[in-house]
A and B are shown apart, each in its own frame.
Chain A
């Protein structure tokens, strides 16, 4: 009888503590989504099939594949795998991985329709109706979302300026030769 009583009291106490903790230390939203989102490259290009990086982060948190982000590249997949404890898998669409490019508007062909301005997820295009538009190169993420809406196809993707020279990785040393002794 006393044993039963003790268990009931213990259960009540711990239940109260857990109940309190659940309210007091409640975490708003899913912290994992934020962590995943911090790894994604934030181009908002939607190449993953979701409307932006955050929705894809939510999908990954709910179990979607981690290899759908071409701008993130293999390094991004690796980082996600490390965060989530999953296996590193090759990118689903390896052909979509391209060196970074920037949108460039051929300004004399632009008719000023503002459609690209509305499409740009990072507000990198400036212009006004019926006036020429242009891309702020420093803000462009190269997501290509401005290409399809353009009615006159006056947007090109040009290679981003080459990064400054940096030290290459030294060639690997040869392996220690091994000879099997019979």
Chain B
């Protein structure tokens, strides 16, 4: 472990971390509940597609839902059992709406199985990528981006393992680092092998000395550099951690991978190690269960899909004490109303807050423009300006102030003396902007289709006009030399539409076919090339033009015999 220059990041908060109470005991397994509920969307992107039917028997680790096209991740069975339902069920989600889930009735005898140990050196890189993709591993730090899709083919400069875990209460990553450091490092080395970075950094906040020691020991004789960073919320956010370690910011509209940085959470590394070494898909995770209302707070290894009420029962929750139930941290987490919602891949913490532990009622008062929020914003935004604009529904102005750069860390709302729910304003603003962009895209799409249709109709009109011309010409022939190019262009502008290059050929060939039974007609012999006359005698002019075309075409045809093809689309344009 060597000292490394840190660059820091603006803003941030130093908070009472309250992590100790869940760290006094080692990670404890939670028994399987009778019913597991597995949401189809536990990741960023499209929901997974079920591949099992209701009533079907499944075994531990079996694929239940495959990853959809694009950004998505698969879902596997955490236990042996029978599929009891596929349908809507409450999930831990901002909206509080029920979402598609797979229900799994577990067998009483079912238990975690240790699969065979696979030496990753014997696997090819493609095999490793395939296994990570198949295992349904997503970023366990909270973003839930499918891990396999972060594994770029091009070598990166930096691979960062994120063990910062900066939000108060949450200690699942810390427990993992203390107890399973070797597995985490194993996962990190698999990632390093696939990504071929120039440098692997392992960032840990300095309030976790035991974890630092365990990781540093496990990193011995590896190329991984452990970096201890000062404790400051939100030091574990991707952009802030990159800025802190490497000294540059991710520009607007770019991803970290564009600048050669890829970041993985320690929990993700552990899951990858298990997927490779033990062929175990992501079916369980460490969840911190804490809060004043919990009798036995701690870090628990929980099967994904375990209902929250079952977990609370297991850890002994004092129902009379329970004021608020929060999934995630106290700042970024979401309040749960439905206790039947399950633990998902992204559930890192469950806080059963007792009386007076967290603010219980939000009583927003007007903004007094104190500017405290500006000082703590880690993205260097102007939170109060964003708030004013979104409140006034001036979303475009909020966008101009880089609303999209907001990481929703909640530091501004935490310090706000008026208790304004700032993050909710930003989320609302972002949602409206996304909606407006979608509406704009739909309008552009409709316009493109409308324009294409107009162009097609205009073309059809032109064709019809020319056919008429040709028919008229078929009925009458005329001396050819009388008409020149100016007449042709005058008529073309008269029809008021553009002609395609294929049309003269078609018209000419048809005219040609009729050329044999043309009877001489001197009706138009005295036509002149004056424009006023053209305007007045359009019909006669058309005759002249067609005759001229026919003659020209005939001349060309004697030179090259390839012009007799008929345009098939012309048939459709028949009136």
Residues of A within 8 A of B (CB): 37, 40-44, 52-53, 121-124, 139, 141, 163, 165-176
Cβ of A122 and Cβ of B366 under 8 Å apart? no
Q: A174 to B418: give the CA distance in the assembly, Å.
A: 11
Give the residues in chain B near A41, CB-CB below 8 Å.
Answer: 439, 443, 446
> Judging by beta carbons under 8 Å apart, are B366 and A174 in contact?
yes
Whether the pair A167, B431 counts as a contact (CB closer than 8 A) is yes
A175 touching B425, Cβ below 8 Å: no
Min distance, Cβ A51 to any Cβ of chain B, angstroms: 11
Cβ of B366 and Cβ of A42 under 8 Å apart?
A: no
- Contact count A vs B, C-beta below 8 Å: 70
- A122-B449, A163-B435, A169-B428 given; name 16 further pairs at CB < 8 Å: A42-B443, A42-B450, A53-B447, A121-B453, A123-B449, A123-B453, A165-B97, A167-B430, A167-B431, A168-B428, A169-B391, A171-B364, A173-B366, A173-B367, A176-B365, A176-B366
Mask: chain B, 368-400; 1 = CB below 8 Å from A; 0 = not: 000000000000000000000011000000000
CB B221 to nearest CB in A, in angstroms, measures 49
Interface status of B427 (Cβ within 8 A of chain A): yes
Set of chain B residues within 8 Å of A37, measured between Cβ atoms: 447
**In the complex, per-residue mask of B447-460: 1 if CB is within 8 Å of any chain A CB, else 0:** 10110110000000
Tell me if A42 and B444 are in contact (CB < 8 A).
yes
Interchain CA distance A121-B435 in the complex, whole Å: 24
Contacting pair B365 A173 (CB below 8 A) = yes
Q: Give the distance in Å from the alpha carbon of A41 to the alpha carbon of B442 in the complex.
A: 9
In whole angstroms, how far apart are the Cα atoms of A44 and B454 in the complex? Answer: 12
Measured between beta carbons, the chain A residues less than 8 angstroms from B442 are 141
Query: What residues of chain A lie closer than 8 Å to B453, measured between beta carbons?
Result: 121-123
CB pairs A–B below 8 angstroms (16 shown): A40-B443, A41-B439, A42-B446, A121-B450, A123-B449, A123-B453, A124-B449, A141-B446, A163-B435, A166-B431, A167-B431, A169-B391, A170-B428, A173-B366, A173-B367, A174-B366
- Please judge, given known A-B contacts A123-B453, A165-B97, whether A170 and B425 are in contact too, CB under 8 Å: yes
B residues in contact (CB < 8 Å) with A? 94-95, 97, 364-367, 390-391, 418, 420-421, 424-425, 427-428, 430-432, 435, 439, 442-447, 449-450, 452-453
The reply to whether A43 and B425 contact each other, CB–CB distance below 8 Å, is no
Do B364 and A170 have beta carbons less than 8 Å apart? Answer: yes
Asked if B447 and A172 make an inter-chain contact with CB atoms under 8 angstroms apart, the answer reads: no
Q: Whole-angstrom distance between the alpha carbons of A172 and B421 in the complex?
A: 10
Task: Say how far B571's CB is from chain A's closest CB, in angstroms.
Answer: 14
Q: What 4 A-B pairs are tightest by C-beta distance, nearest first?
A: A166-B431, A165-B95, A167-B427, A42-B443
User: Which residues of chain B come closer than 8 Å to A172, judged between CB atoms?
Assistant: 391
Minimum CB–CB distance for B100 against chain A, Å = 13
Report B-chain residues with C-beta under 8 Å of the C-beta of A122.
446, 449-450, 453
Contacting residues, chain A, for B435 (C-beta < 8 A): 163, 166
Q: How far is the CA of A42 from the CA of B94 in the complex (A)?
A: 34
Q: Is the CB of B449 within 8 A of A167?
A: no
Complex Cα distance A170/B446, Å?
A: 33
Residue of A nearest to B427 (CB): A167
Q: Are A43 and B428 in contact (CB under 8 A)?
A: no
Closest to B393 in A: A169
Nearest CB on B from A170, distance (A): 5
Contact B446 A173 (CB under 8 A): no
B426's closest neighbor in chain A, by CB? A167
Contact between B364 and A173, CB atoms less than 8 A apart: yes
Q: Which of A44, A169, A170, A174 sits near B450, CB closer than 8 Å?
A: A44
- Point out which of B428, B445, B449, B453 has the most chain A C-beta atoms below 10 A from its C-beta: B449
Tell me which of A166, A168, A169, A170 has the highest count of chain B C-beta atoms within 10 A of its own C-beta.
Answer: A170
Give the chain A neighbours of B431 by CB distance below 8 A.
Answer: 166-167
Task: Determine the chain A residues whose CB is within 8 A of the CB of B443 once the complex forms.
Answer: 40-42
CB nearest to A174 among chain B residues: B365
Q: Which residues of A contact B447 (CB under 8 A)?
A: 37, 42, 53
User: Please, how many angstroms separate the alpha-carbon atoms of A141 and B390 in the complex?
Assistant: 28
Q: Which residues of B contact A169 (CB under 8 A)?
A: 390-391, 425, 428
CA distance A160 to B425 in the complex (A): 27
Q: Is the CB of B424 within 8 A of A167?
A: yes
A53 to B390 alpha-carbon distance, docked (Å): 30
**Cβ distance A81 to chain B, nearest Cβ, rounded Å:** 14
Residue from the set A40, A173, A174, A175 with the largest chain B CB neighbour count within 10 Å = A173
| Separation of A37 and B446 alpha carbons in the complex (Å) | 12
A122 to B447, CA, bound (A): 8
Contacts of B444 in A (CB 8 A): 42
Residue of B nearest to A121 (CB): B450
B436 CB → nearest A CB, Å: 8
Report Cα–Cα, A38/B446, bound state, in Å: 12
Query: A124 to chain B: which residues have CB within 8 Å?
Result: 449
Q: Which residue of A lies closest to B96 (CB)?
A: A165
Instruction: List the B residue with the shortest CB-CB distance to A44.
Output: B450
CB distance from A38 to the nearest CB of B (A): 8
Bound-state CA distance A170–B426 (Å) is 10
Assess A175 versus B424: contact at CB under 8 Å? Given A53-B447, A122-B446, A123-B452.
no
Complex: A107 Cα to B450 Cα, angstroms: 25
Q: How far is the CA of A52 from the CA of B428 in the complex (A)?
A: 33
Residue in A40, A166, A175 with the greatest tally of chain B CB atoms within 10 Å: A166
- Give A141 to B391 CA distance when docked, in angstroms: 30
Q: In the complex, what's the smallest C-beta–C-beta distance from B173 to chain A, in angstroms?
A: 28
CA distance A119 to B537 in the complex (A): 34
Q: How far is the CB of A109 from chain B (nearest CB, A)?
A: 26
Q: With A and B bound together, what is the CA distance between A47 and B432 in angstroms?
A: 26
Shortest distance from the beta carbon of B344 to any chain A beta carbon, whole Å:
17
Q: Evaluate whether A175 and B366 lie within 8 angstroms (CB atoms) in the complex, with A42-B444, A163-B435, A167-B424 already known.
A: yes
Q: Which residues in A have their C-beta under 8 angstroms from that of B445?
A: 139
What residues of chain A lie closer than 8 Å to B364, measured between beta carbons? 170-171, 173-174
Complex interface: chain A residues within 8 A of B427 (CB): 167
For residue A169, give the distance in angstroms from its CB to the closest CB of chain B.
5
CB distance from A142 to the nearest CB of B (A): 10
